[in-house]
Amino acid sequence: MNAPQPISSSRNLGILISGRGSNFVAIADNISAGRLHARISIVISNRSDAPGIEAARQRGLNVVVIPSKGRTREDHDREVVSALKEARADVVVLAGYMRLLSPWFIQQFPHRILNIHPSLLPSFPGLDAQKQAFDYGVKVSGCTVHFVDEHLDHGAIVVQRTVPVLPDDDDHSLADRILQQEHQAYSEAIRIVLDGNYEIIGRRVVAKTH
């Protein structure tokens, strides 16, 4: 059994993006609307052309581009971790961050790094999860928010939401409906982790009832 360390009262999120950033925007909107009690202390993109950067700037957030191209994973991760620590991030939120973290990075934030994946893990890890699920012919897919461990799309699951595959779906329409669920599931999972009201038993993240 593994009880989480208490999170500081600042409830700071460090958000990592690589692209569109719609999950980041949904989290930011939930915070602005008072549905999620947290603060985004930094947004980091590993790509200078990520559309999510502009969305973060428009919100007046602290945005940093730390390009990963041409650098070793360890070298890049050290700069990212140092920016996260400087911004006093309590929880690291991978929001479409298309880069594996080194074991060293993960050790810097034990049980404090979350990822979202557009399938019901452990089915369809990796790239193009929605298309993988659609092509396989599943009747139900969905999304998963999980703690990050040293394996791809693998850590203990915090929240999952299901999405039915409809007869006239294609992989794009399925991905659109999964994304709508992602936008709710991520804030729900962040709330659970910030509140610390859970235990990790084996691989199971179990809500405390008292």
- Output 12 or 132, the one with its CB closest to ligand GAR: 132
In this complex, which beta carbon is closest to ligand GAR, that of residue 118 or of residue 155?
Answer: 118
Query: Does 111 qualify as catalytic in the annotation?
Result: no
How far is 186 from 18, CA to CA, in rounded Å?
Answer: 17
Of 111, 117, 146, 191, which one interacts with ligand GAR (CB under 6 A)? 117
| Shorter beta-carbon distance to ligand GAR: residue 4 or 97 | 97
CB contact at 8 A, 106 and 134: no
By CB under 6 A, which span of 1-9, 100-108, 111-119, 191-199 interacts with ligand GAR?
A: 111-119
Q: Is 30 in the site for ligand GAR (CB under 6 A)?
A: no
Q: Are 158 and 145 in contact (CB under 8 A)?
A: yes
Binder of ligand GAR out of 40, 43, 53, 116 (CB under 6 A): 116
The reply to whether 101 sits near ligand GAR by the rule CB under 6 A is: no
Contact with ligand GAR (CB under 6 A): which of 147, 153, 159, 190? Answer: 153
Catalytic residue among 117, 146, 154, 183: 117
Handedness of CA 112, 118, 124, 128 (dihedral sign): negative
CA end-to-end span of the chain = 16
Rounded distance between C-alpha atoms, residue 120 and residue 38, angstroms: 26
Q: What is the DSSP letter of 2?
A: B
Q: Report the distance separating Cα 32 and Cα 171, nearest Å.
A: 32
Angle between helices 171-195 and 129-136 (to 10 degrees): 120
Q: Which of the residues 173 through 192 are near ligand GAR (CB under 6 A)?
A: 179, 182
Q: Is residue 118 a contact residue for ligand GAR (CB under 6 A)?
A: yes
Give the whole-angstrom CA distance, residue 41 versus residue 10.
Answer: 10
Q: Which residue has the tokens 């569109």?
A: 20
Q: Which is nearer to ligand GAR, 20 or 78 (CB)?
A: 20
145 is an interface residue for ligand GAR by CB under 6 A: no
Residues designated as active site: 117
Positions touching ligand GAR (CB under 6 A) are 19-23, 95-96, 116-118, 129, 153, 179, 182
